[in-house]
Structure 1
Amino acid sequence: MKYLNVALFLIVTFCLSTSISKAQKKPDFLDHLHDPWVDSLLNQMSLDQKIGQLFIVQAYSTEDKSPESVLADIRNNQVGGIIFMQGTAPRQAELTNQFQEASKIPLLIAIDGEWGPAFRLKDTPRYPVQMALGAIQEDSLIYEMGREIGEQFRRLGVHVNFAPVSDVNNNPDNPVINYRSFGENPENVARKAMLYANGMQDVHLLAVAKHFPGHGDTNVDSHLGLPVIKHSLTRLNEVEMYPFKKMVQEGIGGVMTAHIQVPALEPNPKLPASLSPAIIQQRLINEFGFGGMVFTDAMNMHGVTKLYQPGEAAVLALKAGNDMLEIVPDLDEAVMDVTKAVRENEISMEEIDLHCRKILALKKWLGLDSLKTVDLSNLQQDLNKPTYKLTQRLLHEKSITALINRDNLMPLQRLDTLRTAVISFGRTTETAFQKMASRYQRIDGFNIKKEATNAEIDELVRQLAPYNMVIIGIHNLNLSPTRNYGTTPGMSYLIKQLRDKTKIVSVFGNAYALDKIDGIETANGLILSYQENTITEELSAQAIYGSIAVDGRLPVNVNAYFRLNDGISIQKVDRLKYTIPEEVKVSSSYLERRIDSIAMLGINDKAYPGCQVLIAIDGKVILSKSYGYHTYDKQEPVLEDDLYDIASVTKVTGALPALIRLYDERKFKLDMPFSFYWPAFRGTDKEKMTSRQILAHQARLKPWIPFWQNELNKNGNLRSAVFRETPDQEFNIRVSSHLYMDHNNINHMYDEIKDSQLLTRTKYTYSDLGFMIFPKIIEELSGENYEQYLAENFYQPLGATTITYNAYKHFPERRIVPTEQDDNFRHELLRGYVHDEGASMLGGVSGNAGIFSSANDLAKLMQMYLQFGHYGGVTYLDSTSMAEFTRVQYPRNENRRGLAFDKPYIDNYKNTLENAFPAVSASPESFGHTGFTGTFVWMDPKYNILFIFLSNRVYPTRNNNKLSRLNIRPAMHQTIYDALFRGL
């Protein structure tokens, strides 16, 4: 032979153990080299069949591509494999079955799936690009990704994945590798590439490391020309070839050779590495000891075709040591020339047999000796399992890299001090980044096109004058170096114009793009997420607000400001995280199907026109969904940020946090007579009742007083001495859109409470009356306006800015869900005005009712309770106080109540779902509250569950009790426990 030492080839490949050190792992499929099926089939094959096995032809699974040319190659040349290009999974599976049926010898099905099936196929899982994976410190996730990709491809009938890219990219201008590489550190690349490979190979998908001997430091695309790597042998060993050598030692099954010229390894300037015996046979096989499958890169690339004819290149590739040749431009010519080379002893028959034996051994390892067709049923569902989506999310999350965090700005704290603008530069409509930021605090969103002029940017800067915090998302970038990675001069201009603003910049793109945005190093905070999609946008916002930790490290050198391995760890704070159910080991399909079904049952049976549902476990929101409409005319769908009148949930949302805070400060004592704080009760039968008794509904107070009905004249009309339709100095208590009350009547209401008759027995009786007084007591003890106290101490710091009294004052009507058509007292549809009549006569501000909120903002306060007073890195309430307020106070009196909080029925677990409250599985430690308008909040510290249900079941009338009759809230609540106990 001209180039190949046949004896050495036989020793290395056929007798692998003599050339691989004991510490080196051989590819698993080599165990089948002498399998009876391999021996039998090889002995039966003709020369034409053996040569045909050495070629892989391309196929497309798009509907517009005919499979006839592939079928012809199978019939005429008996090719060994197919590589699928663009298309869809169902079509590819159909074609795979068709091709396998047409082939006498089972086909290897291959694909380029560098970040999973979505690299080639629509509507399939898309994992992060390898540059992002290079930033991850938690390497085990990359193995899990590889295993999942292996499962997906095997389900699809694929046997070989031409991945991972194992090139060390150290050239920002590399047009073909770049973001496809794990980065610039050879050890990091080697480790992560092998983890990815091991994951695939552990489920019997052959992994192929590419592009040997290293395509990272090039500025020419080998699809278009022949790149030259001019480094010394020392440098090549330390950098470019290092990952491949390590992966060979650890058992990589396949290696793809590159169409690049490397003078230090191959002096012939016209001989690419893919055709070089010195590089493949001598370096990869002999020196490194690689005995697995050697594949060429696509032979139709200009790095080869500009130098050689197809047949000539095919002969050279086989003589160099490649086992299989991918996408030869003229297969008939290539087969003919290889056949001629064998007959003329330019290539020995022994070499052909050895290549074929390896290919057949691989097919045996893959189970192709008992070929099964791809099952077409449920294919798309199987490829898109929610557990796969979880891994995608976690990989993106762990890759996020903080490069600047001056004065520990992130995670953002003291939200009440921030007026925040969130700009999406490069997008003209609201982005997922902006929407997620709005879940944490009230923000104003601004969008500006990518090609914005300086004048347009100046106008934006003018609008930003009132804001003391600006968050900028840089969108619509290119992953490749094309046009400076998609950056524009306007991006730099905006940052410079905001030089005096506190600003955080989040870049959704290639790390190298940072070098193209002048002044970005002046930002107060800088977050890099490596690519742009809904997941990275949402997670970047969550990183800024601290609901996820940040620990990524830059995998490449960018410039003098941003160097390899740079990255600032940012600890998360205990704010709500938004994710998918699988993160807490709950099946999303099960949970959503059941919750959707129950929610729609209520809507279809007209228990309520619409609702919001929020579920969090372990501080992670796993479902936040709106159903139905504001009213039954179906004109306004319920949106996530719409506000509901939460009715008696006000008791634990308004008065209670203030009382616990005052209790912490020893300004409020539970067992002190209530009359100490409310002198009006002194000298009455209520003088000795305690605040504990009132909060636990154990004070013998009447449930309620029909205050407005007591102000009717003998004709049944409201007394004009108390109510008027136009306001003035005295009639300044607004009860509804057109009704005003004399403010002096509030004192009369308090007198009615004072003079009300006590119940005869001391037992649990739910009462609003004491809660109506608490706001005045809170003002007296705190020295502040009640609403202002709540906003400044709780709602605003929590970022819960939709929690408010009198929603009509603060929000447009379209965002407020209406309650009842009140035809008795206020004679209007109530929208933004409190439903509870007593609370309305207190100006809409009471401790028993009056608060409006979205489910998302209500969740922040309730999660703070669930975390026993702590949220977002801030302690709002003492944990021992929370323990006191959430325990059952009078169990011996069959009173299940905590202090303001409701509790499960005593021995609730013994009940059926129909008779339980709330859910049968709710722990005795759990607590919450219900609301008359159809609302419900419940926290369970044993299982770390938060459940919020908001509806307007009183629309159009309170007489609609279907919500209770259908058992909607307990059924939903129990579903959460069922899903948690059921697991994945």
Structure 2
Amino acid sequence: MFSKKIFFLGFIMLASGLFAQQSGTVEPEFLKFTNSKWVDSIMKKLSPDERVAQLIMVAAYSNRGEEHRQEILKLIEEQKIGGLVFFQGDPVSQAKLMNDYQLVSEVPLLGAIDAEWGLGMRLDGTISYPFQMSLGAVQNDSLLYEMGQEVARQVKRSGLHINLAPVVDVNNNPGNPVINFRSFGEDRENVSRKGIAYMQGMQSEYILTTAKHFPGHGDTDTDSHLALPQINHSRQRLDSIEMYPFRQMIRAGIGGVMVAHLDIPSLDSSGVPSTLSKKIISDILKDSLDFRGIVITDAMNMKGVTKGKEPGVVDEEALVAGNDLLEFTEDVPRAISEVRKAVKNGLISQQQIDNRLRKVLALKQWVGLDKYEPTSIENMMQDLNNPQAVYLNHQLAEASVTLLNNELLPLRRLDTLKVASISVGAEKQTEFQDYLELYTEVSHFQLPADAGKKQIDSIKEQLENYNLVILGLHDHSKFPRNTIQYSEENREFLKSVFQQKNVITALFKNPYTINDLENIEDSPVLIASYQDSQITEEVAAQLIFGGIGASGKLPVSIGQKFRAGDGISIDGIGRFQYTVPEAAGMNSEILVPQIDSLMQDAISQKAIPGGVVLVARNGKVVFHKAYGLHSYSDTIHVEKDDLYDLASVTKISSALPAVMQLYDQGKFDLQAGIDDYLPYFKNSNKAGVPFRQILAHQARFKPWIPYWQNTLRKNGSFKWNTFQKDSSARFPIKVKEELWLHKNYKHQIFKAIKQSPLEKEAKYKYSGLLFYLLPSIVENLTGDEFRHYIRSEFYDRLGATTLGYEPMERFQLDRIVPTESDFFFRHQVIHGRVHDEGAIMMGGVSANAGLFSNANDLAKLMQLYLNMGEYAGERFISEETLKEFSKVQFPENDNRRGLAFDKPNLEYIGEDNNTAKDASSDSFGHTGFTGTMVWMDPQEQLLYVFLSNRVLPTRENTRLYRLNTRTKIQQALYDAIKTGK
């Protein structure tokens, strides 16, 4: 990456020097081959007719079947054409066809394609980068250079050599029906810089780049595909605006220029299309602008040039006018015949044709066709959709998003917000809405584009319950046209909503539509995303919550509402960014298949029925995937937002953050004992035992107590004063249907803990006893109910809305993954209630177990720990406290534990180690009995969350441990880091 940037900077310095000097031109590199031995050898073989044919490129498709293939083969074999311009299809079929066509061509064929925003413009299954108007908003031009390189690599990989891009028309007409979003914008300097960066990236990979549409197609309201547009500006105006980017690109070394079909009286008063104008092509482009590269026509089947002209005749006129390559010739034999007549009649000389042919052959040699080899089909789709290309797409989308108004972002104090989102122009929940709810609880609504009064009134009524409204304006059309098709009722509704103080508007459409929506400029937050795609919707949601910042600048003016260059820059605040592994220096080609393989192996061996894995590095979630089913006999697939019983991960996720916060406040002393905060424990064998020892599992406490066994009579029935079949004031705690626990049974648990004997030796022995007591200690120290305290102090502020106790109070059962089939206590499948017997007898609320969460929300708390107490710009716990609690406390006693946190074994013990081999000694986390694991490594800023229900159907299933799935996945993260740098 470093070398790429140095290379790019060199180009930029060169380009800057050219701008400053306003003189001199970098000659296209391929011209050095015009008199090469290979070119000479080809020239000698070609007849006069064949020399003309080499200047013709016909349209080819990879989705039209055998008849079309035979037509192209015939043209190649009989007419000896020089190249093909590919349109719709798919890359594998295209490459196979091109191989077939090259096989029968005596002179290697040039292959071209319109890939303005990448191969996705034409080919299925390939990457579409942002449209050029989006790119016009990007402030880091090196990203466009990298895009040029990647697009060039993909064009080559698909067997082609020319990209008919970029568009460098200055779009200064909002009503332009054909350029518009395909332009970098209305500012000639910005268009020039972007065009040069894109061009230099492509040409560094030996792909001919074609600036289009000369002399400038930006200021027209006519589509040249359908008719001949007329541009009535003066020569001075055209020189200073429309032709300016072409001039700069020529000076910077552009290899190709495409000529538009335009009627421009000030340049040629004859009325002929510019494609057929010698004054425009030969006199202006070649002579005045000193362009020595390849001049290519726009498609010769477009109405703007064909009206009143016969196929073949129009091609001859284009060649006579000065074009070097003819694109989309419809009648090749007639075109060759007409050109030969023109030579005979003195309209064009054989020498002129030969000179142009030498340039075309030189281009063929420059792109490597003198050493032609067939294109390999193997792994083509993987190569075209490679991780770096996908990552670059994310970078460009993030860099383009533009904040036009901002009174609210980034959102803070999530605990004070009640959020509603409305996707206008959508029939179902959008990707934008999916990503919004990754940050906090959001209620979603949709309003179709043609919504009527009844639908709108229903939403209006419900909005009264929210203090923040997020609007997403969509139409999900393939291209971001400059019109918006909303019903009048929708428009009136939006008009009023835009003026509210609590509204965020994200426009996933062409920014010109801002001028068509009344009052949108008053929206307290207005985000321009330029187009509607999965990535732009993801990015906008992340901007709203501070996962990323904004740096884009509007590339066009919007009436009187906004000017080109407008855009407010803000930084993210450290909430999760959701992106790809490469964004965090991880290799997705290692990470993804290894995790997939390990999870599928665990599922196939019935170690787990399913699970969720989340990986974050440097605050970026780079992997988040669900696998398998809720249970082996189930048909419910695991979803990423499903809730799992966290088991002992609760120990570091509930009371512990409260204890650390209280420690910061001087209210909790690690040298104090339980009896200092719970007087009930005075005069017990636990009195005076320091919390430091207890939290480090070195206090001689028993590992656990089977509390539920104390409720049984000898005949197996429950004692009358413990459980009843019906609820009542005395028996309010539901353990299962027809099983209600006495309200004071928690005292029996405390009594059992108090009376339990101590182990003989003060050494490491894992114990959960303290964690039954911690909620009461927190309540005594804060004066607040435990659940309310941890939710208000941590979970709500983090936006961790699924993290909590008793999930059935808040969520549908089908979102909660079941755990064990309990045949010895509750005698049922445990589903929706805590698996741990002691925790359920605490009413489901214990610091030992009881928390449920999805992976994403749990990760927010773990990221707080990894950040040493901070998240989203808020300090929750001091850095010193996190470091103290997460370090090994008693290594001299062969005890690896921190304070509640688990740590790696002091010495690595092979496959049975509790962490991956590469986990650092600074790392910390915890595992859970149900098959959960969280782990944080400050050295690599790495976070790992693993959720499963390995105890289904029975806790006796220990295959997950024997397979070491969790630690093997963890090692894959380190492998991905080592190979991703």
What TM-score do the two structures reach when normalised by structure 1? 0.95
Q: Which residue of 2 aligns with 1:12?
A: none
Equivalent residue of 1:506, what SS?
strand
Q: Which residue of 1 aligns with 2:304?
A: 303
1:22 deviation in Å?
A: 7.7
CA distance in 1, matches of 2:902, 2:480: 60
Q: Which residue of 2 aligns with 1:797?
A: 797
Taking the TM superposition and a 5 Å limit, the aligned residue runs for 1:72-87 are 72-87=74-89
Q: Which residue of 2 aligns with 1:331?
A: 332
Q: Which residue of 2 aligns with 1:831?
A: 831
Provide Cα deviations, 1:217-258, integer angstroms capped at 9, x if missing partner. Answer: 000111111111111222212210010000000000000111
Q: Which residue of 2 aligns with 1:362?
A: 363
CA distance in 2, matches of 1:838, 1:311: 88
Provide Cα deviations, 1:804-852, integer angstroms capped at 9, x if missing partner. Answer: 1111222221111111222222222211211111111111111111111
809-818 or 172-181, which deviates more: 809-818
Q: What letter matches 2:445 in structure 1?
A: F
1:693 deviation in Å?
A: 1.3
Q: What letter matches 2:924 in structure 1?
A: F
Equivalent residue of 1:168, what SS?
coil
Q: Which residue of 2 aligns with 1:51?
A: 52
Aligned pair 1:222/2:221, yes or no? no
CA distance in 2, matches of 1:764, 1:131: 63
Equivalent residue of 2:87, what SS?
strand
1:370 deviation in Å?
A: 2.1
Aligned pair 1:244/2:232, yes or no? no
1:552 deviation in Å?
A: 0.7
Q: What letter matches 1:412 in structure 2?
A: L
Q: Which residue of 1 aligns with 2:12?
A: none
Q: Which residue of 1 aligns with 2:939?
A: 942
Is the contact made by 1:190 and 1:247 (CA closer than 8 Å) also made in structure 2? yes
What TM-score do the two structures reach when normalised by structure 2? 0.96
Aligned pair 1:426/2:425, yes or no? yes
Is the contact made by 2:647 and 2:851 (CA closer than 8 Å) also made in structure 1? yes
Aligned pair 1:143/2:145, yes or no? yes
Is the contact made by 1:491 and 1:517 (CA closer than 8 Å) also made in structure 2? no
Aligned pair 1:593/2:590, yes or no? no
Q: 1:315 to 1:430 in 2, by over 3 A?
A: same
Equivalent residue of 1:762, what SS?
coil
Aligned pair 1:926/2:928, yes or no? no
CA distance in 1, matches of 2:709, 2:377: 69
Equivalent residue of 1:61, what SS?
coil
535-544 or 63-72, which deviates more: 63-72
Taking the TM superposition and a 5 Å limit, the aligned residue runs for 1:114-193 are 114-193=116-195
Taking the TM superposition and a 5 Å limit, the aligned residue runs for 1:560-571 are 560-571=560-571
CA distance in 2, matches of 1:302, 1:812: 59
1:307 deviation in Å?
A: 4.2
Aligned pair 1:473/2:472, yes or no? yes
Aligned pair 1:982/2:979, yes or no? yes
Q: 1:233 to 1:27 in 2, by over 3 A?
A: same
Q: Which residue of 2 aligns with 1:453?
A: 452
Is the contact made by 2:641 and 2:856 (CA closer than 8 Å) also made in structure 1? yes
1:699 deviation in Å?
A: 1.3
CA distance in 1, matches of 2:529, 2:478: 12
Q: What letter matches 2:930 in structure 1?
A: T
Q: Which residue of 1 aligns with 2:30?
A: 29
Provide Cα deviations, 1:443-482, integer angstroms capped at 9, x if missing partner. Answer: 1111121111133212221122211111111111557686
Equivalent residue of 2:458, what SS?
helix
Provide Cα deviations, 1:675-725, integer angstroms capped at 9, x if missing partner. Answer: 211222223332221111111111111111121212222323221112112
Q: What letter matches 2:920 in structure 1?
A: S
1:953 deviation in Å?
A: 1.3
Equivalent residue of 2:654, what SS?
helix
Q: Which residue of 2 aligns with 1:15?
A: none
Q: What letter matches 2:249 in structure 1?
A: M
731-740 or 210-219, which deviates more: 731-740
Equivalent residue of 1:743, what SS?
coil
Provide Cα deviations, 1:850-886, integer angstroms capped at 9, x if missing partner. Answer: 1111111101110111111111121111111111111
Is the contact made by 2:449 and 2:485 (CA closer than 8 Å) also made in structure 1? no
Is the contact made by 2:58 and 2:330 (CA closer than 8 Å) also made in structure 1? no
Q: Which residue of 2 aligns with 1:254?
A: 256
Q: Which residue of 2 aligns with 1:405?
A: 406
Equivalent residue of 1:284, what SS?
helix
Name structure 1 gaps, 5 residues minimum. 1-19
477-486 or 689-698, which deviates more: 477-486
CA distance in 2, matches of 1:453, 1:480: 25
Q: Which residue of 2 aligns with 1:14?
A: none
1:501 deviation in Å?
A: 5.8
Equivalent residue of 2:60, what SS?
strand
Name structure 2 gaps, 5 residues minimum. 1-20
Provide Cα deviations, 1:530-553, integer angstroms capped at 9, x if missing partner. Answer: 111111111111111111111111
Equivalent residue of 1:805, what SS?
coil
Q: What letter matches 2:378 in structure 1?
A: S
Is the contact made by 1:166 and 1:211 (CA closer than 8 Å) also made in structure 2? yes
Q: Which residue of 2 aligns with 1:711?
A: 711
Aligned pair 1:660/2:660, yes or no? yes
Q: Which residue of 1 aligns with 2:616?
A: 616
Provide Cα deviations, 1:596-621, integer angstroms capped at 9, x if missing partner. Answer: 12112222222221111111111111
Q: Which residue of 1 aligns with 2:15?
A: none
416-425 or 451-460, which deviates more: 451-460
Q: Which residue of 1 aligns with 2:957?
A: 960
Q: Which residue of 1 aligns with 2:280?
A: 279
1:311 deviation in Å?
A: 4.0
CA distance in 1, matches of 2:382, 2:827: 53
Is the contact made by 1:674 and 1:687 (CA closer than 8 Å) also made in structure 2? yes
CA distance in 2, matches of 1:494, 1:159: 51
Q: 1:137 to 1:964 in 2, by over 3 A?
A: same
CA distance in 2, matches of 1:483, 1:195: 26
1:338 deviation in Å?
A: 0.9
Provide Cα deviations, 1:347-405, integer angstroms capped at 9, x if missing partner. Answer: 11221111111111111111111221222222222222122111111111111111111
Q: 1:460 to 1:176 in 2, by over 3 A?
A: same
Aligned pair 1:201/2:200, yes or no? no
Q: What letter matches 1:374 in structure 2?
A: T
139-148 or 806-815, which deviates more: 806-815
Q: What letter matches 2:396 in structure 1?
A: L
Q: What letter matches 2:111 in structure 1?
A: I
Aligned pair 1:811/2:811, yes or no? yes
Q: Which residue of 2 aligns with 1:289?
A: 290
Q: Which residue of 2 aligns with 1:495?
A: 494
Equivalent residue of 1:804, what SS?
coil
Is the contact made by 2:312 and 2:330 (CA closer than 8 Å) also made in structure 1? no
CA distance in 2, matches of 1:751, 1:373: 80
Is the contact made by 2:802 and 2:854 (CA closer than 8 Å) also made in structure 1? yes
Aligned pair 1:389/2:387, yes or no? no
CA distance in 2, matches of 1:108, 1:714: 90
Q: 1:636 to 1:481 in 2, by over 3 A?
A: closer
Q: What letter matches 1:369 in structure 2?
A: D
Q: What letter matches 2:332 in structure 1?
A: L
CA distance in 1, matches of 2:22, 2:846: 80
When the two chains are superposed, the root-mean-square deviation of aligned CA atoms in Å is 1.7
Is the contact made by 1:889 and 1:898 (CA closer than 8 Å) also made in structure 2? yes
Provide Cα deviations, 1:248-272, integer angstroms capped at 9, x if missing partner. Answer: 000000001111122222222x222
Equivalent residue of 1:526, what SS?
strand
Taking the TM superposition and a 5 Å limit, the aligned residue runs for 1:653-802 are 653-802=653-802
Q: Which residue of 1 aligns with 2:18?
A: none
292-301 or 582-591, which deviates more: 582-591
Is the contact made by 2:402 and 2:568 (CA closer than 8 Å) also made in structure 1? yes
1:115 deviation in Å?
A: 0.8
Q: What letter matches 2:433 in structure 1?
A: Q
Q: Which residue of 1 aligns with 2:14?
A: none
Provide Cα deviations, 1:174-223, integer angstroms capped at 9, x if missing partner. Answer: 01101000001101111111111111111111000000110000001111
Q: Taking every aligned residue pair, what percent have the same amino acid on both sides?
A: 47
CA distance in 1, matches of 2:298, 2:701: 84
Q: What letter matches 1:439 in structure 2?
A: L
Q: 1:164 to 1:325 in 2, by over 3 A?
A: same
Equivalent residue of 2:436, what SS?
helix
Q: Which residue of 1 aligns with 2:99?
A: 97
CA distance in 1, matches of 2:176, 2:161: 30
